[in-house]
Structure 1
Amino acid sequence: MLRSVKGVICQGPKLDFGYFLHASARAWLSAAVNQDVQIPAEKPRTVFRTNESNPANHAEQHEGQHYSIPLQEVKVVFPHGLPYRFQMQMKTFNESCLMVRKPALELLGYLKNTNFAHPAIRYVIYGEKGTGKTMTLCHAVHYCAKQDWLVLHIPDAHLWVKNCRELMQSSYNKERFDQPLEASTWLKNFKTSNDHFLKEVSPEELTLVHNLRKMVVNDWNGGAIVTTLSQTGSLFKPRSAYLPHELLGKEGFDTLDPFIPIQVSNYSQREFESCYQYYLDRKWLQHERASTEEGRNELLFLSNSNPWQLERISAYL
């Protein structure tokens, strides 16, 4: 079986509810930042939004900017595939915004230039915990959906079998799963509708765990295989491990090889500034010092530019 894991980074200092900064962080920054310095009123803000909502048009000039996905479109493209905390953020902000990041641009570039006459290419998204691997995958899924491709999105392989069993219990679906078909065959129907897809796959094919491995075999053409590595389900692996050969083991690595690795790292300076300005714009940062240069530097220090850490720290402010 393939095992998917992702690495873990140490959590930063925790914030007490009555304080903006951990004491040690405040001491560290006092030597580097003058507390009396305020952001000049005339200092221009980083452009953190783009009006370009079609992922097919995203390019280097959009890197670090947020683009909006209509909420009705989110329900269609990601019925179960968005991280829980991002869904909560959507409810809070009343909008769905994804940041255009370099790893996603790299992956979209590959997909745009794919020769579909050749065997499907495998892409493996990997990185440390909280760097944004899932959101990179979601950006790619949104691109494929906008291209009218058939997208088989499995957010959690461990829950997939359970969900498929529930799907089969519906009398509506039982009437449509009447023609057994090899997995490699239905994957070739890359641009068919979801309804047509449901008519062609037998219940047995969807509920067998071993089909997860069959889906990453590139003995078909007309599409692409994009996977992410997470720590869930991995046994006897160091918590700091996140590289493909560390997490997959020999059997899993040999099953995916050859593949193109896509590494997702912490925010770049531009991306951190964009996220910080976005949180300010959405009133996510409420503390009186959050909008000062000192507050910005404190968030940068505490989060180490890790997207997950920055979101969690900002939630207390």
Structure 2
Amino acid sequence: MLKITKFLVKNSVNSTPSKSYSIAAVAQRKIDIFRTNEQNPLKHNPSQSAQFYKIDPEVRKQLFQHGGIPKSFDIQTKTFAETCLMIREPALDVINCMNRIDYSKPPVKFVLYGDKGVGKSLTLAHLIHHAYESGHFVVHVPWVGQWMRSCKEYSNSESKEGYVDLNIDAAAWLHHIKVQNAHFLSKPEFVTSQTYQWSKREATEKGASLVELIDHGINRIKYACDTITALAEEIKVLSKSGVCKTFVAIDGYNAFFYPYTRVFTEKKERVAPAKITITEGFLNLTKTDWNNAVCVLTVDEIAIAEEDHKSPLPRYLLGKEGFEHLDPFVPIQVTSYNPKEFVSCMEYYRERKWVQPVAGMDEELAFISGSNPYKLMNLCAPL
């Protein structure tokens, strides 16, 4: 495992993109090939860096219908009548490593980190698309912060004393994984390895299909959180037995380790993430006691309950407990646009008639936004 980690660190993305060329210098080259005709992420390579590729609407519907595309970017895709993602170095580095790692070993864990708005969630979306096309079973959590900060409802757990259930959110997530992996779940080998007794009258028998297990959590919402815990264990069993390869993608993973949430007990006390039953299954999936899998996680300042952050680095956001839980992992920094990416983005906006070509505008926008993708998108919106 140590040799693999050393290899991955050596081949991971450089923490500081090259600034040896300016926005103006790149623009003078008249880079008009800001799109690639290669829509299959399995064939993406460094020669297509900074180019946009289009996700098929049916694939997007299956993978991101219930989350995974940031709301502000989702609005833009509807305006542009297409979903295009930029092929960036962090995603290419992870893809390169995924093509080389030994899946018989414990799962390699990648942690995407960086300042707010640099594109961590969209990088993760690119990797989810790649994993889907390469035949991985996808376990995707669109945004942990939503559960910990603005869950739909919560109640005391009936199965674990002192714990809190987020059953509506849990049932919604079960529907999400069912849609994403419909092509897998229809196969006869995706069955449970043990019997799950929910009550005196209700049970999911050993050998039942995973669809039956998932549907039980959706239809009997009081058991949704416990169903996620059971499903996580079944996915590990299937991966270890070689039935499938698993791709775990969790956005805002550090929210699992923040000291408290915005969920309260009956005594109006804040509940720690560890006391929320939905947490157990996803922490189980990021352990090193299984194989035939890879984990890509993001840590984000806005995922935690209170935005008193001081650093975007994984060690700070994960805290001691989270850092030790993931260790060893490969940190992948996502940065603001380099000059090539900035020009490519502006050319794409012009092609979509989102901005008009004005002399000196690119340099001014680059300065004001700091080449931050989110800030640039907001600045261009009213232009």
* 1:164 matched to 2:170: yes
Q: Say what the alpha-carbon RMSD is for the aligned residues.
A: 3.0
Look up the SS of the partner of 1:209 in the other structure.
helix
- The alpha carbon displacement at 1:188 in A equals 4.5
Look up the SS of the partner of 2:279 in the other structure.
coil
Q: Which stretches in structure 1 are left out of the alignment for 5+ residues?
A: 1-38, 195-205
* 1:107 matched to 2:177: no
Equivalent of residue 258 in structure 1, options 285, 306, 328 = 328
1:78-93 matched pairs, under 5 angstroms: 78-79=64-65, 80-93=67-80
Check whether the contact 1:122–1:260 (CA below 8 A) recurs between aligned residues.
Answer: yes
Paired with 1:180 and 1:242, the residues of 2 have a C-alpha distance of: 30
Equivalent of residue 359 in structure 2, options 293, 310, 315 = 293
* 1:224 matched to 2:294: yes
Paired with 1:119 and 1:193, the residues of 2 have a C-alpha distance of: 12
For residue 78 of structure 1, what is the amino acid of its counterpart?
F
Look up the SS of the partner of 2:139 in the other structure.
coil
The 1:241/1:106 distance shift into structure 2, 3 A limit, reads same
User: What are the Cα deviations for residues 87-143 of structure 1, in whole angstroms up to 9, with x where unaligned?
Assistant: 111110000100000011001111111211111011100000010000111111000
For residue 304 of structure 1, what is the amino acid of its counterpart?
G
Give the corresponding residue for 2:379.
313
Check whether the contact 1:77–1:142 (CA below 8 A) recurs between aligned residues.
Answer: yes
Look up the SS of the partner of 2:289 in the other structure.
coil
The 1:233/1:140 distance shift into structure 2, 3 A limit, reads closer
* 1:280 matched to 2:350: yes
For residue 122 of structure 1, what is the amino acid of its counterpart?
K
Q: Which has the higher contact order (CA 8 A, sep 6+)?
A: 1
Q: In terms of mean alpha carbon deviation, does 150-159 or 115-124 score higher?
A: 150-159
The 1:292/1:173 distance shift into structure 2, 3 A limit, reads same
Paired with 2:304 and 2:285, the residues of 1 have a C-alpha distance of: 20
- The alpha carbon displacement at 1:184 in A equals 4.1
- The alpha carbon displacement at 1:149 in A equals 1.1
- The alpha carbon displacement at 1:180 in A equals 8.7
Give the corresponding residue for 1:189.
238
Check whether the contact 2:36–2:52 (CA below 8 A) recurs between aligned residues.
Answer: yes
The 1:180/1:44 distance shift into structure 2, 3 A limit, reads closer
The 1:64/1:258 distance shift into structure 2, 3 A limit, reads same
Give the corresponding residue for 1:55.
41
- The alpha carbon displacement at 1:185 in A equals 4.3
Structure with more strand by fraction:
2
Look up the SS of the partner of 1:308 in the other structure.
helix
Q: TM-score, normalised by structure 1?
A: 0.74
Check whether the contact 2:245–2:292 (CA below 8 A) recurs between aligned residues.
Answer: no
Equivalent of residue 140 in structure 1, options 119, 124, 127 = 127
- The alpha carbon displacement at 1:251 in A equals 1.0
For residue 41 of structure 2, what is the amino acid of its counterpart?
P
User: What are the Cα deviations for residues 208-267 of structure 1, in whole angstroms up to 9, with x where unaligned?
Assistant: 322222121121001101100012353677544100111111111111111000100010
User: What are the Cα deviations for residues 169-222 of structure 1, in whole angstroms up to 9, with x where unaligned?
Assistant: 426998xx999957344234346599xxxxxxxxxxx95322222121121001
Q: TM-score, normalised by structure 2?
A: 0.62
User: What are the Cα deviations for residues 251-309 of structure 1, in whole angstroms up to 9, with x where unaligned?
Assistant: 111111110001000101100010010001101114xxxx1331111111111110001
